[in-house]
Amino acid sequence: MRLPVRLVRFAFGLLYGPFAPIYDWVSRTFFLGQWVHWQQAALLEAEGRILEIGSGTGALQQVARDRGLDWTALERSPQMIREARRRLGSARLVRADARALPLRGGTFDRVVSTFPSEYILSPTVLAEIARVLQPDGAILVVPLGVLRPDGMFGRLLDRFHLLVYGDAPPPHGIAGPAGVTWTACWVDSPHGRALLLIGRR
C-alpha cells in the first residue's frame, strides 16, 4: 500500500517551499540520520569539475567544499536557495531549471543529483546534462536510500517509508541520454544503504 502520488507530491512541494527551513530536520529525523550519508554516496566517483542538480539546502555542497572539490550547485526553489545561502554564505549556487541549464556545453566532468524527483527522467533534462558534460564525463545519481530497520522506531520508520515511497525499485539505470551506459551499486551507511547509479558514455 502506498499514499496517493498527488498527496506525496504536495507534501514534498511544501518541504521545498514554505517549509524549507525544516527540511534538514525532517530528513535527519525520519531517516535516522542516514540522509547525509546517502547523499555522500555520490562523492565516491566525484572528481574534476562537478555540477550538482537539485542541491536543496546545500548539505552535500558543504561537504564537497570542505573536501576541496570544484563544485557548482543548481537549484530551482528560491526557498531552498535561501537556506543554502544561510548554510554556505558565498558559494557557486545557481538558481535555474534543469530543463534549460544556463551553462556552457562540455563544462563539467561529473553531474551529480541526489534524491531527485521525476524530473531527472525527462528527456529534456537528460539532454541538457549530456550537453554540459565533457565527452568522457559521468552522471552520478542517488535515487534512493533504504533503512536497516533496527529497533522499534526504525521498524516504524521503515513502514512509513513504504507508505510514502512504495517498494524500492530494482537497481537499474535511468533511460538515456543516448550513448550512456549505466551501472549500479549499493553503498552502505551506518543504518542502511544507498543506491548509486553511474552513467558513462
The answer on pLDDT for 128 being more than 90 is: yes
Q: Is 144 left (phi over 0), alpha (psi -120 to 50) or beta?
A: beta
Task: Please list, in sequence order, all residues whose beta carbon lies within 8 angstroms of the beta carbon of residue 13, skipping any fewer than 6 positions away.
Answer: none
Among the ranges given (2-6, 12-16, 69-73, 157-161), the one the predictor scored with the smallest mean pLDDT: 2-6
Report the candidate in 78, 44, 85, 82 with the shortest Cα–Cα distance to residue 61.
85
Q: What is the pLDDT of residue 25?
A: 87
Q: What are the structural domains of the chain?
A: 33-148+171-200 (3.40.50.150)
The three cell numbers locating residue 23: 527540511
pLDDT at 62 over 80: yes
How confident is the model over 6-16, as a mean pLDDT? 62
Q: Rounded CA gap, 28 and 183, in Å?
A: 28
The pLDDT score that the predictor gives to residue 1 is 53
Task: Give the pLDDT score at 12.
Answer: 61
Least confident of 52-56, 143-147, 150-154: 150-154
Whole-angstrom distance, CA of residue 125 vs CA of residue 132: 11
